[in-house]
Amino acid sequence: MSGKAIVFITVLTILLLACSSPKVPQDFLAMALSSQHPSIKKVMDSVAQYELQIKYTQINRDHDSITFTDYHYQVNDSNYFYPASTVKLLTAILSLEKLNELDSVDLYSRFYIEGDSLETTFANEISKIFAVSDNEANNRLFEFLGQDRINEELKSRDIGPARISHRLSALNSDEVTTVPLVIYLNDSTVTPLKYSTNTIAKPLKLKKIKKGKAFYENKELINEAFNFSLKNYYPINTQHEVLKRLIFPEAFPKEKRFRLKKNQHQFLLNAMCTLPKDLGYDPVDYYDGYCKFFMYRDTKDTIPKKLKIYNKAGSAYGTLTDCAYIKDPTNKVEFLLTATLLVNANGILNDNQYEYQDIGLPFLAQLGREIYHLERTQKH
């Protein structure tokens, strides 16, 4: 055999082996964070001050099997950040579960909170939670659940550390006794549900639990760090696991899944990617990216119909967080991404002087775009 023939066969063998061998997962998170895009570079050049934590999951499918490859950046359950509205995903999931325990009550049952004049349905409140991150909608469902039920259900699934202790932006935020819901059984018959009295929250013992150098309370400046030890706690790993179990229930043992009926599960997924305009909100104020921090929050662009972002984002006290499953079937892209960062240069909380628009939201939007681009161009 000639030398050229040997070389040809050797090269051909290498190419065939390369084609038949599974691709080694690439760390697109590290690649994204090394981007020279100004929105990424601005944070990464001074990353220590932003308390940045990120978790990214590559999703690989082989016929009926699915595997996850996780990548982390500075993720530490012991380093506290305020989760803000991201906890609303828990409220929605666990409210649907509780509905399954009640006779003659379902997703579309009408109700009102005792003492409140607003009549609504569970479907309406869950939809508002995701479309515009409505705090009052969350709090109505919080009355339905109570702190103890939320915490016990999370613990029973072995999802990770978490502690829910209060409502959001409410005067009675940490009240341990819930207000009863009054349910319409039909057009003329109502029945109150029993209230619950919950455990008083104990202070969290975590790193970075105190933040800043001062904060405003009742318009008065308090010159000391803000103490978050009695606030909600919902770290990156736990958020990521909740979303993973919701999107891919078949990848987990039955006892670790959320107990949702098929129609409830589909309703929740639809709600998570519903845009404000789809529910009749003014698209000028509530543009497509209003609650989609990854990829679109720094732009007023229309999100293409082919692209679905199932997420729950939150912002408060200078902290921005998003937890999302991003899917583009046309281009065979799908991944999980959860990230949080603190943008509070002056160290004063409750003064509404945060660098959301200049630093935080552009970073999260570009991070999503960078990983989406890498998934699209290099994974397949």
In this structure, what DSSP letter does residue 236 have? H
> What is the per-residue pLDDT across 6-34, written as a single tens digit (0 to 9) for each?
444 444 444 444 444 445 578 999 999 99
Q: Residue 127 is inside which H or E element, if any?
A: helix 122-131
Question: Over 60: is that where the pLDDT of 103 sits?
Answer: yes
- Residues 364, 371: Cα–Cα separation, whole Å: 11
Note the pLDDT of residue 379: 72
Residue 305: Cβ within 10 Å count? 7
Amino acid letter, residue 3: G
Alpha helices by DSSP H, listed for 189-326, are: 236-247, 262-273, 293-296
What is the Cα–Cα distance from 183 to 8, expressed in whole angstroms?
77
- Token pair listed for 201: 């929250």
**Does the domain made of 3-378 have the CATH classification 1.10.10.10?**
no
CA–CA distance from 137 to each of 40, 169, 198, 307 (Å)? 34, 11, 20, 27
Average pLDDT over residues 159-186: 96
- Residue 228 predicted with pLDDT over 80: yes
Residue 187: the pLDDT is: 84
**Which of 326, 98, 79 lies closest to 204, judged by CA?**
79
Q: What is the pLDDT of residue 140?
A: 98
Give ∠ CA 207-211-217 in degrees, rounded to 5: 140
% of residues, the chain, pLDDT over 70: 93
**E-only strand ranges, the chain:** 53-62, 65-73, 110-113, 120-121, 181-184, 190-192, 210-211, 214-217, 220-222, 226-227, 308-316, 319-328, 333-342, 348-349
Q: For residue range 343-371, what is the model confidence (pLDDT) as tens digits?
A: 999 999 999 999 999 999 999 999 999 99
The structure's pTM equals 0.92
Looking at the chain, the whole-number percentage of residues with pLDDT higher than 90 is 89
The tens digit of pLDDT for each residue in 33-74 reads 999 999 999 999 999 999 999 999 999 998 888 999 999 999
